[in-house]
Structures are given as structure tokens and as C-alpha cells.
Structure 1
Amino acid sequence: MPSLKEVRNRINSVRSTQQITKAMKMVSAAKLRKAQDKSIQMRPYSRRLSQILSNVLNNAEVGNLGVYAQKRPVNQVLIIAVTSDRGLCGGFNSNVVKAVNALIAEKYAEQNRKGKVTILAIGKKGRDYFKRRNQKLIETYTELFGKLSFENAKTAAEFAMEGFAKQEFDEVVIVYNEFKNVATQIIRQEQFLPLQMPQEDTKIKGTTKADYLYEPSKEEIISELLPKTLKIQLYRSLLESNASEHGARMTAMDKATENAGELLKELRLTYNRTRQAAITKEILEIVGGAEALANG
């Protein structure tokens, strides 16, 4: 049975940890509100832009769609893995890592054997994981989520787009957590490049066929619309991941606080039992000593 001092030390340690996890939960809750608002506000804009793009691409007179729609034999693959810069957020980062590993094993196994699967890591946790396992890393972006903005996010998108245009990569895929609610994040795998042509049975809900008047020309409009759509796609993924991170951390810290409370109950019970046992032992020693003196 542990001593009273050991139990007291453990109680103080768990109580301090509980205070930290409770504070982290409150911080994540405050950050979640802002991140969730940004993510929700971006969805209508991204959805509408995708609807316009779908209508344009379904126009029979569009013609050449440019380099970002070129489909080539898939030899070189780039996977954009979106994780967080900090831990203590449950399975948030491990789920992305597992999804990337599963994607490589199931879809790009042949390219991986030839060393032609490259990771673009957004977030320190993903970078550290793939670096430890000697996975080919071409670029990393950290500290983006501290001041997440379109200007910061488009840098990563432009890097991938430039690599695809130079035929350094034949396919680019994004893996990230999509925010559903505080307790639920959904792993998404989206093809970033080449641009997927919308099919009749996979059009975005609410999209209707429309005719456009192009000014100054179709080619110039499309050349501006496609890159912007791709950058918005990555920015939206980062916003979703940021909201998911704070939701996952809030849930994890809430659970940790509850577990600390349960552990404190057990430690207090152990402390009381140990204390009672010590008192009983002292009483027995006193009684035994008094009997010895009386018999002596």
C-alpha cells in the first residue's frame, strides 16, 4: 500500500493536470467558434464557384481547358497531407496519417515501390511523422494555422499547381479532416489535379445548365477561373481542417478532464483507506504498549 505522502503527491499532480486540460478545453472552444464561422462562411462561396465552373466545363464550346485539366499516365504522385502543428487533439492527426498510408497502399503501391510518391506536409505533425519513416517529402508548410488566410494558403496551392504544370507530378490528392461537429471529423480524399471534369451523374446538387456571355473572351475567363477555383479548394480544405482540429482538441481535453476527475475520486478513496489503516495501526501499537506495561 502506498504511503500517504505518495498518494498526496499523486492527487496534487492529477489536480494540476486537470486544471491544465480544463483551460485547454476552454481555449479550444473559443478558437473553434471563430474557425467554424470561417469554414461555414466559405462553403457557400466555394459551392457557388464550383457550380459556375461546372456549367462552364459542361459548355460544349469551351474548347481547350488548359494545363490543369490534362490527364497523363500516373507516374509521379503528390499527396497533400493536412495535419496540425500541435498535438493533444485525439485521433485528429493519426487519422490523416492512416488515410495517407491506406491511399498509398491501395492506389499508389506501384508508384511507391519506385519512389515516386511524394508528400507535401501541411502541419508539423504530418511532417514529423513522414520524416521519421523516410517518406519522400518535397515541401512542408508549418505555422499556417496560426494566421490562416487565403494569401498564406494559396502558396501551397501554387506550389502544387506549378509542379503539375511542369509535369513533375501527374496527380495531386488532398487528404484532410472535414468538420462535421465538435465530436465528429470526416476524413476526405479529394483529387486536386488534374481537374476533374463534371459528369452528368456527378454534378453538384443545384447546378443548372446556363449560358454565359464571355467578356473579354472565353479563354481569358477560363484561364482566371480555373487557378482561382483550385486555390479556393485548398483554402477551404485548410479551413475545414482548422475547425476540425479545435473540435477534436476540445473533445479530447473534455474527456481528459473527466478522466482526471474519476482518477481523483479513486486517489481520494485510496488516501482515506491508507490514512485509516495508519490510524488503526497506531491505535493497535498504543494498546499493545499499554498492555505490556500493565503486565510488566
Structure 2
Amino acid sequence: MDSLESLTRQITGAKELNSIVRTMKAMAAANIGQYERAMESLGDYWANVSWGLVAYLKYIGLESPIVKQGENPKKGPKSICAIVFGSDQGFVGQFNDALSEYVQESLSAHEGKMEIWTVGVRVPLLLKDRGMTVTKEFNLPNSIHAITALIGSILLQIEENHENGSIDEYYLFHNHLEKEGSYRQEKSRLFPLDVKWQQENGRLKWPSPKQPEVIGDSARLIGSLIREYLFVSLYKTCTESLACENLSRLNAMQRAEKNIEELLDDIGHTYHRLRQSSIDEELFDVVSGFTALKKDRKLGG
């Protein structure tokens, strides 16, 4: 049975842990807002790049720079690259586990050459445990200001692979924010642009009555537009993944806080019951001693 001293130490430790949990919860909530604002700020930038791509493709008489579904210009299976955004830190619930399972299920049927790039130190460990080979690992940004450097590193690698012709398609795997404070795993094709992109952006209307024209080197123009498209897509994916990570941590901290409060309540009841029992014993000893002393005095008298 626990002593009063042992219960006191447990209560002190639980209160200290609860203070840490509350701090982590507050930091996670603040980070979610920061990353969500970063995502919202991409809205106009994304719209301008999309307008530019749609306008260019319509100008040259091409609806979309895609390979139609069911067609493969290369013989044999396509070579693909999966870019997986995970986390560096723990206390995020099933954030990395669910994502790694989703990646394995999505890529299990692929028969061609496959590369897996990961962002964050925890996802590659889980993917390797599932028998998958991670070919390149990138460090996760520790702040919103470091995201640009990460995206630059990924784009350099994509450009190098493009020059070598070693990868046909790029896919993004990450956790996607849902409504009501939840998220789900998502897979999207980064490049080449696919039918989904065409359907989502083909309805875009040029914001002015005057139709756009391509002036100058069209090859440089489409190259710049595609680079900007890749940049904003990767940036949005990274910030959304970081927002989901902090949302998962916030949920985990809320559960931890609830468990600690329940533990403190149980320990508190045990402590007060044991303390009351100790007080009762002391009072009983005092009363017994007083009664015995009173009897001795009567006998002596």
C-alpha cells in the first residue's frame, strides 16, 4: 500500500507533467494557426500560377500537358517517386503510423522502378520496418521560415532526375486537413499534371476581358510556370503536413491532460482517504491513551 510520502511524490510529479502537457498544447495550438495562415497566404499566388498555366496551354492550343490516362509513352512500367511528409518529433498519435501504412498500401501494386523520398526522421524508420526502401531523406523544417530551403532542395533533386530522365511521375503523400479539427491521409500527383488537375483548373476564367498572349521565349515561360507550380504545390503540402502534425499533437496533449487530471483525482482521493485514516488512528491512540491514563488514576486513588 502506498504511503502518504509516496502519494505526495506522485501528485507532485503528475502536476509537473500536467504543466508540461499544457505548455505543449499551447505551442501546438499556436503553430496550427501559423501554418494555416501560411496556407491561406498561398491562395492568390496559387491562382496566378494556375491562371498562367491554363492561359499558356489554351494559347498554344493544348488543353493540358499531361499523358492521358491509360497511355504510356514508354514501354514497360513507369518509374515513380513518392515524396512522403512525416514528422521529426513524437507525441503525435498515429500521425506517422497511419501515413506509412497508407503509403505501403498505395504503392504495393506498383511493379516498375520506385523511389521514396521522406521528409522527417520518423517516417523512414516506419517504412523500412514495413520492408520498403527509402532512397532519399530530407530534414523537416523546424520553423515556417525554413520551409523554402527544404522545397529548394527537393526541386533541385527533381530537376536533376528530370535531366537524367530517371523518373516518370512524382506523387505526394501527406496528411490533409479536414473540417472539425481532423485530418486524413492523401495522395496526389505532383507532376506531370493529370486529369484531376485539368478538371479542377480547366474551369478557371481569365480575370479580365482581354485574352492573354505569350510574348518572348515560350519555352522559358512554360518552364518558369512549371517551376512555380512545383514550388507552391510542395510548399502547400509541407505547411499542411506541419499543421496536421501540430493538430495531432494537440489532440494527444488533450488526451494526456484528461488522463493526468483523472490520475490526480484518483491519487487525491487515495491520499485524502489515507490521511484521514492516519488522523483517525492518531486520534484513537490519543483517546485510548487518555482512557488508560484515567483508569490508572482511578486505581491509584
Question: Which TM-score bucket, shorter chain as reference?
Answer: 0.7 to 0.9
Rounded Cα–Cα distance in structure 2 between residues aligned with 1:89 and 1:182: 18
SS at match of 1:212: coil
Which segments of 5 or more consecutive residues in structure 1 lack a partner in the other structure?
none
Structure-1-length-normalised TM-score: 0.81
Rounded Cα–Cα distance in structure 1 between residues aligned with 2:37 and 2:197: 32
Question: Any idea what the Cα deviations from partners look like across 1:50-92, whole Å, max 9, x if unmatched?
Answer: 243234335553599599xx85453433211101221212332
Q: 1:31 is matched with which residue?
A: 31
Q: Which has the larger radius of gyration?
A: 2
Amino acid at match of 1:35: Y
- 8 Å contact kept, 1:144–1:153: no
The CA deviation at 1:131 is: 4.0
Pair 1:90-2:88 in alignment: no
Q: 1:123 is matched with which residue?
A: 120
Structure-2-length-normalised TM-score: 0.80
SS at match of 1:189: strand
Aligned residues: 287
Which segments of 5 or more consecutive residues in structure 2 lack a partner in the other structure?
none
Gap change, CA 1:203 and 1:32, over 3 Å in 2: closer
Q: How does 1:189-204 map to 2 (within 5 A)?
A: 189-196=187-194, 202-204=199-201
- 8 Å contact kept, 2:79–2:166: yes
Pair 1:207-2:210 in alignment: no
Rounded Cα–Cα distance in structure 1 between residues aligned with 2:273 and 2:114: 59
Rounded Cα–Cα distance in structure 2 between residues aligned with 1:199 and 1:98: 26
The CA deviation at 1:178 is: 2.5
Question: Any idea what the Cα deviations from partners look like across 1:76-115, whole Å, max 9, x if unmatched?
Answer: 332111012212123322232222122123x42x45xxxx
Question: Any idea what the Cα deviations from partners look like across 1:16-60, whole Å, max 9, x if unmatched?
Answer: 110001111122223333222111101332134224323433555
Q: 2:183 is matched with which residue?
A: 185
Rounded Cα–Cα distance in structure 2 between residues aligned with 1:189 and 1:31: 24
Deviates more, 1:238-247 or 1:282-291: 282-291
The CA deviation at 1:255 is: 3.0
Pair 1:102-2:105 in alignment: yes
- 8 Å contact kept, 2:54–2:202: no
Pair 1:8-2:8 in alignment: yes
SS at match of 1:203: helix
Deviates more, 1:72-81 or 1:82-91: 72-81
- 8 Å contact kept, 1:28–1:247: yes
Pair 1:227-2:222 in alignment: no
Q: How large is the Cα RMSD of the aligned pairs?
A: 3.3
1:166 is matched with which residue: 152, 164, 167? 164
The CA deviation at 1:267 is: 1.1
Gap change, CA 1:182 and 1:150, over 3 Å in 2: farther
- 8 Å contact kept, 1:81–1:119: yes
Gap change, CA 1:32 and 1:66, over 3 Å in 2: closer
The CA deviation at 1:134 is: 4.9
Q: How does 1:13-162 map to 2 (within 5 A)?
A: 13-59=13-59, 61-62=61-62, 72=74, 73-105=76-108, 107-108=109-110, 110-111=111-112, 116-146=113-143, 147-162=145-160
